[in-house]
Amino acid sequence: MSDTPSIGSFALPHAESPEASWSHKALDLVKEGLLHGQARHAPHRVVVTHVWGHCPRCKHRIDVLQTHQPGTAVRDAVEGGRGVPRSGVSGRPDGTEVFTVAVACSCPPNGHPGAPPKGGCGASFRVQVPFMNQEGS
Ligand SMILES: [Zn+2]
Ligand SMILES: [Zn+2]
């Protein structure tokens, strides 16, 4: 175990990775304060999520803003997502709401051999992000 902070693993090849393992890693990063997320209610029942910090796989910085239209069921597109909550709003025992969002790594292009032009190392994961504002009820 080395705890030397090495930010950015440029030798990592691009690879489509099952999300379950990265979701668990993402949870660790959230606890460590290396990955952040927040959700907010926008007009017309749209939910906007913002996830930023370190990719659980390649540790590159990511900054992902996503808009979630109401009624668009997010399907489990990636096998291996079992045990990870589906995307969407869910309540916590303490009464707060969280939004589970699927995030694909979006680190800058050229970070990984074989990466597509849009960038990313290929990892995708889910994180639960808290709502910053609670609108109506
Ligand atoms: Zn990555
Ligand atoms: Zn990367």
Q: What are phi and psi of 12, to 5 degrees?
A: -65, 125
Ligand 2 centroid from CA 41, angstroms: 29
pLDDT at residue 2 greater than cutoff 60: no
pLDDT average, residue stretch 45-58:
95
CA–centroid distance, residue 85 to ligand 2 (Å): 24
Instruction: Tell me, in angstroms, the distance from the centre of ligand 2 to residue 88's CA.
Output: 26
Question: Is 137 contained in some domain?
Answer: no
With respect to residue 3, please indicate whether it lies within any of the assigned structural domains.
no
Cα 96 to ligand 2 centroid, rounded to whole Å: 32
Query: What is the domain range of residue 102?
Result: 19-130
Instruction: Give residue 99's region: left, alpha or beta (phi > 0; psi -120 to 50).
Output: beta
Q: What is the pTM of this model?
A: 0.76
Asked, for residue 84, whether it belongs to a domain, the answer is yes
Residue 20: pLDDT band by 50, 70, 90 thresholds?
confident
Give the total number of structural domains in the chain: 1
Mean pLDDT confidence for 44-54: 94
**Statement: residue 47 has pLDDT above 50:** yes
Domain for residue 1, yes or no?
A: no
Query: How far is the centre of ligand 2, averaged over its atoms, from the C-alpha of 33 (Å)?
Result: 18
pLDDT band at 86 (very low <50, low <70, confident <90, very high): low
Q: How many CA atoms lie within 13 A of 82 on its CB side?
A: 2
Give the position of tokens 């190392």: 121
Does residue 58 have a pLDDT over 50?
yes
